[in-house]
Structure formats: structure tokens, C-alpha cells
């Protein structure tokens, strides 16, 4: 019915039935087996299952916290080993105020606690860290779909906070096949005016859209977005999204 | 076909056929006439058409720029009258570095140039400003749908930049009928782990999702999101999204 209404329609659907992901799992195969993907679909994968498949987890028993981590953890009743992992995953602390630790990860993402996640690790004495190179993770999943004859864009998403606004949203941390931006530079709108908007970060919008089905249905970790005409880019990466320090006013 | 795959599916569709909006236009009536809305739909309206319907535009010929606006505009080859409008629309300048002016609007939004938009105003000597109270704008549109017997959530969106990441995304600046947040506090995931995520700002995610159809199809200003189970809130507003200065690390 909906498809009669306009050519512009986009659908977002959750991939149901994925089990607990373990190291070495082939995510592309599992997703393709569960969901009838078609050429042009965009698959948005929550980073935590990528981290699990890639063994991006740290056994806390193996972590010896630094004095800095120990002192600060004691002050705010945190696990010093988790704090140590957060510091190791960061290249710079952006803000450390009260119990809040905002870091810049080795990838260049600015987020709380370097994206380190203890609750989702599946065990209390284990911490999940972000994929080492989420663009490479996305490319691996995309190539798994390609091996099945499918041209699928892949976005790896995570849930980040942001300044000025409460509540978190899902954003992209890795991409494959799809250019992260949609540029309007030099274009005019239907009324002949030049666009004020220069570039939209569509992969962040796709990640946000995907969260709507993931969150609604018991945190399903994979969503399929169909009907969005993405800009193909075989060399796609998150690099165009990462603002250079020289252009940033809030570091 | 898609609907067979899962109960979780969400659709996003652009409302095509809206003409140029002029002051006094009844947006709810125009949208409802063009699109067969059903109970539970979420209508995401781009703020610029709300501004036009509500005459939130300033004739630049009537603007006498302050000395501060004139001096700074000259330095960066800007129109001093537009700079004056930007200053009037702000309650505080957050950053003023080079040609960039990041302000906090009277509503409490932090964005470039107080959201003032010259290109979309429809005339070179006119500037479009954000709706005075976008929650009230959303409520007005929602009540127009209610008068037709429809229970529709309304989100007013705008396109904002953000720190640390290049590219803009659409976010919410006004809401009606829908609570802006989805809280996971105290909930556990299917594997029994407590959620790391506390609260998701779903109205920002809905605005981002809507942009995907708006941008794809000649900047259609209204999108309909169907299939998302929103949290009803008759007293909904953007207030829960605006982070209090005392909790903000980046002002």
C-alpha cells in the first residue's frame, strides 16, 4: 500500500533471530541467512556485535591499572581496571570533569569512556572495546555480501552522547561501499535558491534511523534500510566525517 | 513483501506536492490533504516551512545593524543586517572564531548563526528565522490533525552542525504528542545485562530518518514516519532535550 504513495519511500527493518555473537562469527553470512537482502540495501550493524565477532574484549583480570587510573577510579567509585582500558583506548582526554570522562579514541571519535562498554560484554569481568578499525570491519561484512552476489552498503553504528543536548543517538563509526556525505554544494532547490546546507552526514542519519527499529524491538543489533539511494564509494571511510582539530571549536 | 518479514518495520515517506508556503498557511490541512495519514503516524516538518507559515521572516531593509554587527560583518564580508538578525535571535554567543558564529538561541539551541537562513527565505533581502516556539508550532499542526480525527505525533526539524564531526544532520527543535526520549533506565537486554545506554533522544533520530527522504527527493519539506511506536505525551516539549548549563561540558 505504502509503495503506491510515492517513489521516495524508505523502509527500515530489524533483522531478527541473531543469537549471541562469539569471536570468529561470520556476521555477513548470519545476516544474509536471516534476511532476504537485495541489491542496494544498507545494512546497519551495531558495533557491539562487531566487537564480539572480532574479539575486541579485554579480560579485566589481565589489566593492571596505572596509578592515575587507580586514583581517579577510587574518587568516583569506578572499577580502576575499566578506567585503565578507557585510557588505553584513547589518544587524548577531551574532558575529565566529575565522574565524566570524554575522550578522543585512537580512531578520532570523541565520546564518553572511549566507547568502552562493560555491561554488554556478556560477563562482569570483561570489557568490550570498539572495533580496532570499523571501516575495515564494514568492508569485511560488505565483502561477505559481495561473495553472495549482493551489492550492499554497510554502516557500523554506536550510541554516543553529544554536547548541549540530553539523550544519546546512534551515529556511524565505520562504513563500506557508501560515501558518508551527501553534498549540496553548488546545487539549487526547486525554487531556485542555493542550499544553505552544504553537506549532510547521511551515514549518521542512517545509523540514527536504524536505531529506531533496533531500540523498539528488544535491541535488535542489525537493521536493513531499503529504498535510500546511496552514493557508491568503494574507498569509503569515516575520514571525511572526522573534523580536523584545526577546524574544531570544541576540543 | 517487506511487511511479511517482521513486525518491526518502519517506513519513511516524503509528502510530495506542497507548494511554496506563505504566511497564514494551514500546514496540517495541506499535509493531510496530500497524504493519507493514519493514527500513529509521525509527521516530521522542516522548520523553514513552519517559519514561512508563521511569518518568521525579517525584511533586511528594516534592520539597522549595531556597531558590533557592522564591524564584524565587514571583517568577514558578511551582510551586517543578517549578522544583526543572528545576534537578535541569540541569547549568548558560544563561539565567534573567524567567520564562524555559534550561538545559543532564545530557545536554548546551540547552532550556527542562530538558525537564521537567508537562502531559503525566497528573497535576497529577507532572512528566515526559527519559529518563535517550535513546540507550540508542533502542537498547532498536531491539533489540526486531531480536528480531522487523527492522532499524529509532530516533530519540527532543522539541519544543524555539530562539534567534532563534519557534515550536518537533521535534529528536532519542536515536538507535539511524542515524548522526546526513550528511556532504558533499569531495563535489561535479552541476555540479562543492564543497558549501558540510559536514554535515547528518539525525536532527533526521527528527524534524521526523515531527512533521508527529504534530501533524496528535491528537498521535500515534510516526511511521514509509520510503524514507530512512540511514547505518547500530551505535554511534550523539547525541554528534556536541552541540557542545563550546569551539566554541560562544552559551553
Q: Of B130, B160, B192, which residue constitutes the final position of a domain?
A: B130
Residue B102: which of A20, A228, A249 has the nearest Cβ? A249
Are A10 and B7 an interchain contact pair (Cβ–Cβ within 8 Å)?
A: no
Mutation site for B-interface testing, chosen from A3, A7, A8 by largest number of B Cβ within 10 Å = A8
Residue B186 forms contact with A (CB below 8 Å): no
Report pLDDT digits (tens) over B106-120: 999 999 999 998 876
| Facing residue for A213 by CB, picked from B10, B159, B197 | B10
Cα–Cα distance between A196 and B218 in angstroms, integer?
Answer: 14
To test the contact with chain B by mutation, choose from A1, A4, A10 the residue with the greatest count of B C-beta atoms within 10 A, namely A10
**Cell numbers for B15:** 509528502
| Alpha carbon of B59: minimum distance to chain A alpha carbons (Å) | 17
- Band of residue A55 on the pLDDT scale cut at 50, 70, 90: very high
> Residues B161, B225: one domain?
yes
- Report residue B208 as a C-alpha cell: 534524521
List of residues 6+ apart from B246 with CB closer than 8 A: none
pLDDT tens digits, B132-158? 999 999 999 999 999 999 999 999 999
Interchain contact, B119 vs A196, CB within 8 Å? yes
pLDDT of A169 reads 96
Give the whole-angstrom CA distance, residue B158 versus residue B178.
Answer: 17
Residue B233 lies in a domain: yes
Give the tens place of pLDDT for each residue, B37-92: 999 999 999 999 999 999 999 999 999 999 999 999 999 999 999 999 999 999 99
Its sign, for the CA torsion A113, A119, A121, A124, is positive
Among the partner residues B20, B162, B190, nearest to A191 by beta-carbon distance: B20
Pairwise CB contact (< 8 Å): A13 & B20: no
Q: What is the pTM of this model?
A: 0.94
Do B68 and B125 have their domain in common?
yes
Contacts of B170 in chain A (CB under 8 A): 200, 205
Q: Which residues pair with B223 in a beta bridge?
A: B14, B44
| Confidence check: pLDDT of A104 > 70 | yes
| Share of residues in chain B with pLDDT > 90 (%) | 79
Q: What is the pLDDT of residue B120?
A: 66
DSSP run (H or E) holding B67: helix B67-75
Of B196 and A24, more confident: A24
- What is d(CA B125, CA A206) in angstroms, rounded to the nearest whole number? 36
- Tell if the CB–CB gap between B119 and A193 is shorter than 8 Å: yes
State the CATH number of the domain containing residue A102: 3.90.1660.10
- Same domain flag for B48 and B145: yes
CA distance B23 to A236: 43
Specify the residue for cell string 570522562. A101
Asked whether residue A31 carries a pLDDT value surpassing 60, the answer given is yes
Q: Quote the CA–CA distance of B128 and B155 in Å, as a whole number.
A: 19
Beta bridge pairs of residue B170? B159
Domain boundary pick from B89, B107, B130 = B130
Model confidence at B122: pLDDT above 70: no
3-state secondary structure B189-218: CCCCCECCCCEECHHHHHHHHHHHHHHHCC
Residues 6+ apart with CB under 8 A from B199: A166, A167, A168, B181, B182, B183, B184, B185
The three cell numbers locating residue B38: 493514519
What does the alpha-carbon distance between residue A33 and residue A35 come to, in Å, rounded to a whole number?
6
- Between CA A112 and CA A120, with CA A115 as vertex, the angle to 5 degrees is 120
Please tell me the predicted confidence (pLDDT) of residue A226.
98
CB neighbours of residue B232 within 10 Å: 12
B chain contacts of residue A157, beta-carbon cutoff 8 Å:
none
Question: Which residue do the cell numbers 519559529 mark?
Answer: B131
Q: In terms of domains, do A41 and A106 share one?
A: no
Helix, strand and coil percent figures for chain A, each rounded to 5: 30, 25, 40
Segments forming the whole domain that contains residue A160? 12-55+131-239
Same domain, A80 and A113: yes
Identify whether residues A167 and A121 lie together within a single domain: no
Number of domains in chain B: 2
At residue B3, the pLDDT reads: 41
Domain assignment of residue B150, yes or no: yes
Q: Specify if B246 maps to a domain.
A: no
CB-CB under 8 Å, B213 with A10: yes
**Secondary structure of residue A177 in the 3-state scheme:** strand
Indicate whether B33 and B137 sit together in one domain.
yes
| Nearest-CA distance A147 → chain B (Å) | 23
Chain A residues 117-146 with CB within 8 Å of chain B: 117-120, 122
Amino acid at each position: 500500500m505504502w509503495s503506491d504513495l510515492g517513489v521516495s519511500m524508505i523502509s527500515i527493518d530489524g533483522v531478527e533471530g541473531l543469537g549471541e555473537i562469539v569471536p570468529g562469527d561470520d556476521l555477513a553470512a548470519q545476516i544474509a541467512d536471516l534476511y532476504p537482502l537485495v541489491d542496494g540495501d544498507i545494512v546497519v550493524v551495531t558495533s557491539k556485535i562487531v566487537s564480539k565477532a572480532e574479539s575486541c574484549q579485554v579480560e579485566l583480570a589481565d589489566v593492571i591499572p596505572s596509578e592515575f587510573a587507580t586514583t581517579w577510579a577510587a574518587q568516583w567509585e569506578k572499577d580502576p581496571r575499566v578506567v585503565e582500558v578507557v585510557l588505553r583506548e584513547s589518544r587524548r582526554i577531551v574532558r575529565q570533569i566529575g565522574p565524566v570522562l570524554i575522550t578522543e579514541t585512537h580512531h578520532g571519535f570523541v565520546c564518553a569512556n572511549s566507547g568502552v562498554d562493560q555491561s554488554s560484554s556478556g560477563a562482569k569481568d570483561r570489557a568490550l572495546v570498539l572495533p580496532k578499525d570499523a571501516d575495515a570491519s564494514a568492508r569485511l561484512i560488505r565483502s561477505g555480501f559481495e561473495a553472495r552476489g549482493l551489492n550492499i552498503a554497510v554502516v557500523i553504528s554506536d550510541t554516543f552522547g553529544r554536547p548541549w543536548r540530553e539523550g544519546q543517538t546512534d551515529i556511524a563509526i565505520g562504513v563500506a561501499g557508501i560515501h558518508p556525505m551527501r553534498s549540496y554544494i553548488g546545487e539549487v532547490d526547486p525554487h531556485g535558491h542555493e542550499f544553505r546546507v552544504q553537506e549532510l552526514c547521511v551515514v549518521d542519519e542512517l545509523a540514527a534511523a536504524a536505531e529506531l527499529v533496533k531500540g523498539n524491538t528488544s535491541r535488535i543489533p542489525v537493521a536493513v534500510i531499503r529504498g535510500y539511494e546511496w552514493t557508491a564509494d568503494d574507498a569509503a571511510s569515516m575520514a571525511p566525517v572526522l573534523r580536523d582539530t584545526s577546524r574544531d571549536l570544541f576540543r
